[in-house]
């Protein structure tokens, strides 16, 4: 049995690893020197109680709980894949609730639930390239949610000078304590309710381009070599 399967099937082991993961994120928050770029963008929405869709690449998931205002409710789209349970239980320590589903499994029901939350004034977090890639390529699901709800998409990312990329499909960035970090927000992206197919594709490309741009900028500011987007063919 793989370690992932063990953690998922053993409640005690899963709780322990998720507790450790959440505390490691808190350790990074405390010991690293963080600079936030574009922080006025989400703050305006938070202060006015307006919902939006937080978009971030799967490989930059680690510090997203740190970028979020803990006083603002958010639901995060998390896959039904076995490692999705680990992510859901880890971010739950930060008050982040899960919407179960992905583009491949439970997509229709997850989309309905996301739109419901957004229309009730709750924010949603989505990894447009998750759960399996291709890396740093946006899927259409986040665009559909924005069109149906009327909520804007706001991209965010992080980077650190003291860390390393896992040899995984998403080149997951793991930060080390006592480094310098950047959290960067991008401008809101609106998707018209009457958007046709061409407009939806344009919005998808906007999200992808914006996320790649702020990720590259954050990497450059800390002296990190950026990962390149994968080919548009999803990994098998």
DSSP one-letter code for 68: S
pLDDT band at 3 (very low <50, low <70, confident <90, very high): low
How many domains is the chain built from?
Answer: 1
Q: CATH number of the domain that 83 lies in?
A: 3.40.1130.10
Q: Lowest mean pLDDT of 189-193, 205-209, 232-236, name the range.
A: 232-236
**Residue 232 belongs to some domain of the structure:** no
Task: Place 85 in a pLDDT band, splitting at 50, 70 and 90.
Answer: confident
Mean of pLDDT values over 96-108: 74
pLDDT over 90 for what percent of the chain?
Answer: 81
Tokens of 201: 């594709």
Q: How far is CA 189 from the centre of its chain?
A: 16
Q: Is residue 123 part of a domain?
A: yes
pLDDT of residue 10: 75
- The model's pLDDT over 110-127, given as tens digits with 9 standing for 90+, comes to 899 999 999 999 999 999
pLDDT in tens, 29-63: 999 999 999 999 999 999 999 999 999 999 999 99
Residues of the domain holding 115: 3-222
Tell whether 187 is covered by a domain: yes
Q: Is 107 contained in some domain?
A: yes
Angstrom distance (rounded) from CA 235 to CA 108: 22
Residue with tokens 């939350």: 117
Q: Are 62 and 166 in contact (CB under 8 A)?
A: no
- For residue 6, the model assigns a pLDDT of 53
Q: Does 117 fall in a domain?
A: yes
Q: Would residue 233 count as lying in a domain?
A: no
What secondary structure letter does DSSP report for 23? Answer: H
Is residue 174 in a domain? yes
Here the tokens at position 153 are 């998409």
Residue 236 binned pLDDT confidence (cut-offs 50, 70, 90):
very low
Is residue 234 a part of any domain in this protein?
no
């Amino acid at each position: 049995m793989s370690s992932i399967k063990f953690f998922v099937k053993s409640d005690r082991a899963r709780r322990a690893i998720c507790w450790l993961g959440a505390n490691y994120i808190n350790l990074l928050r405390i010991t690293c020197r963080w600079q936030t770029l574009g922080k006025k963008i989400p703050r305006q929405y938070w202060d006015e109680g307006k919902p939006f869709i937080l978009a971030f690449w799967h490989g930059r998931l680690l510090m997203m709980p740190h970028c979020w205002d803990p006083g603002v409710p958010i639901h995060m789209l998390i896959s039904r894949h076995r490692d999705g349970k680990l992510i859901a239980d880890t971010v739950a320590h930060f008050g982040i609730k899960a919407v179960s589903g992905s583009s491949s499994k439970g997509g229709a029901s997850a989309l309905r639930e996301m739109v419901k939350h957004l229309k009730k004034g709750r924010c949603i977090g989505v990894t447009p390239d998750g759960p399996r890639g291709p890396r740093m390529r946006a899927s259409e699901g986040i665009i559909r949610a924005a069109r149906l709800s009327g909520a804007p998409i706001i991209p965010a990312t992080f980077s650190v000078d003291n860390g390393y990329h896992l040899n995984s499909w998403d080149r997951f960035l793991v930060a080390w304590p006592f480094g310098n970090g950047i959290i960067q927000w991008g401008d809101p992206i609106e998707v018209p309710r009457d958007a046709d197919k061409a407009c939806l594709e344009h919005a998808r490309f906007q999200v992808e381009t914006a996320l790649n741009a702020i990720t590259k900028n954050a990497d450059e500011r800390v002296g990190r070599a950026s990962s390149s987007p994968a080919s548009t063919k999803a990994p098998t």
